[in-house]
Structure 1
Amino acid sequence: MRVHKFTFAALAVAAGLTLTACQSGEDGAAQGGASSAPPGSPAASAPASPGGGSSSGGTDQSGGKNSAGTGSDGKGTAAGAGSDGTGKAGKCRTGDLEITAIDSTVGGDSDGTVAVQLKNRGGQDCTLSEYAGVDLKTSAGSLSAKRTGEHPGPVVLKKGKAVSFGVTYPLNTSGGSGVRVTGLVVTPPDETKSVTLAWPGAATLPVTEGTGSPVKVGPIGSAGQGG
């Protein structure tokens, strides 16, 4: 009887171990192969991304844009230094121009000529549009020059460069005292601030009848361009 009791006891213990092992395996399968990482760890808390990777890998930058902007050639684009915001050179201001005048009358001409030069001494290129304002100070009052009528269009004056225009006037060949010229007033195109220069031409103008001005001014560039 003792032999049979030990045999039954051994069989009972073996059966219990087998049943425990089976339950442990079934529990694991029911959990769907869950990670063994302890709760609260980074691996356990990170949700799976739709592509199979973790969403903790940073934001997607594939649609990001360069804050500096790029052109069609892939290079950065920016407005030109000293521009008006559209990429074009701004208007030349009186304060950025060095204005001088010289006598450029050619011997044998019936009219005298004064060349007025405008030099860009500013820090950037600028634009001059066609005609400057020109007035002669005389003993008979101010005399405004008339435009010759050409329309060559605006001129971009590079930094450090100069451009000239001509002022023509009749020479006093009458033998009389004429009208004495005391100064030359130049107003750059699209400006209100003027510069008064010494008159470098003939000392007098002939006395003329009528109200028209015998003094004429050419467009910017009409008297050549200097460096």
Structure 2
Amino acid sequence: MVGAAALLTACGSPTPAATETTTAAAPTTPEHSAAPAHHSAAPTHQAATTEGKCTLNEVKPSVGRTTGEAGTRHTVIVWTNHSNRACSMHGFGGVDLVGPNDPVFGPTYSLPRQSATPTTVHLPPGGVAHTVITWQPPQDGPGWTPTGMNVTPPDETHSAHLQWPGGAVLRQDAATHPGTFISPVQPGAG
């Protein structure tokens, strides 16, 4: 009788917060696998959990506009969902500027992440999201001019190569608080 009471309590009418937590854990919990009606009661939530992350096969990056003042510039990377399914992006992608071999740092500048809290961006087919690269040109001298950049969606291991649209960049590879960084993925084209 105690086991039946525990099963009734575990699969009873959950609160909305419990629905989100238990739905993801349902396949590994025997009590929930015995109650398929619980999962069919919220088809919109089920669709959201099966949406899946966006991969490089689905989202194609392109270079957006570059804006800014003399000391700081902002270049937008636009992610467009070219697939026929919805997907989601969460967190930070990767951006590696590539160019001539710097005698101290080498030919690749892997940009650090901005200290910001990411949110999940849902992309229907044709939907767009963006990442902002904040960078500083050199204060004096020619500096280091990238020839391109490798961009990677969040939680992905494959990159796409894009041309670098800006000019020379101040390299801050060893800085503890660099002025060059990337933002988390955000909705819209930026």
TM-score range, shorter chain: 0.5 to 0.7
Q: Do 1:134 and 1:217's aligned partners in 2 also have CA atoms closer than 8 Å?
A: yes
- Indicate which of 87, 92, 95 corresponds to 2:54: 92
TM-score, L = length of structure 1: 0.57
Q: Which residue of 2 aligns with 1:123?
A: 84
Q: Which AA in structure 2 matches 1:135?
A: D
Q: Determine which structure has the larger strand proportion and give its number.
A: 2
Please tell me whether residue 226 in structure 1 is matched to residue 180 in structure 2.
Answer: no
Contact 2:96 2:110 in 1 (8 A): yes
Distance across 2 between alignment mates of 1:79 and 1:121: 25
- Following superposition, the deviation at residue 79 of structure 1 comes to 6.4
Contact 1:128–1:189 under 8 Å retained in 2: yes
Q: Corresponding residue for 1:179? A: 144
| Conservation of the 8 A alpha-carbon contact between 2:131 and 2:182 | yes
Q: Name 1:216's counterpart in structure 2.
A: 181
Find out whether 1:195 has 2:156 as its counterpart: no
Shift of residue 153, structure 1, vs aligned partner: 2.1
After TM superposition, where is structure 1 displaced by more than 4 Å over at least 4 residues in a row? 69-72, 76-80
Partner of 2:169: 205
Q: Is 1:152–2:118 an aligned residue pair?
A: yes
Deviation of 1:207 after TM superposition, in Å, equals 5.5
Q: Which runs of 5+ in 1 are unaligned?
A: 1-68
Q: Which has the larger radius of gyration?
A: 1
Output the amino acid matched with 2:162. Answer: L
Aligned with residue 105 of structure 1, among 57, 63, 67: 67
Q: Distance in 1 between matches of 2:189 and 2:114?
A: 22
Cα deviation for residue 144 of structure 1 reads 0.8
SS at match of 2:57: helix
Aligned residues: 147
- Kindly provide the CA deviation profile for residues 136-190 of structure 1, in whole angstroms up to 9, marking residues without a partner as x: 102221111111121132211111110111001112231x121121111111111
In the other structure, the counterpart of 2:132 is: 166
Distance 1:205 1:71, change over 3 A: closer
Percent identity, aligned pairs only, is 25
User: Partners of 1:198 and 1:191 in 2: how far apart?
Assistant: 20
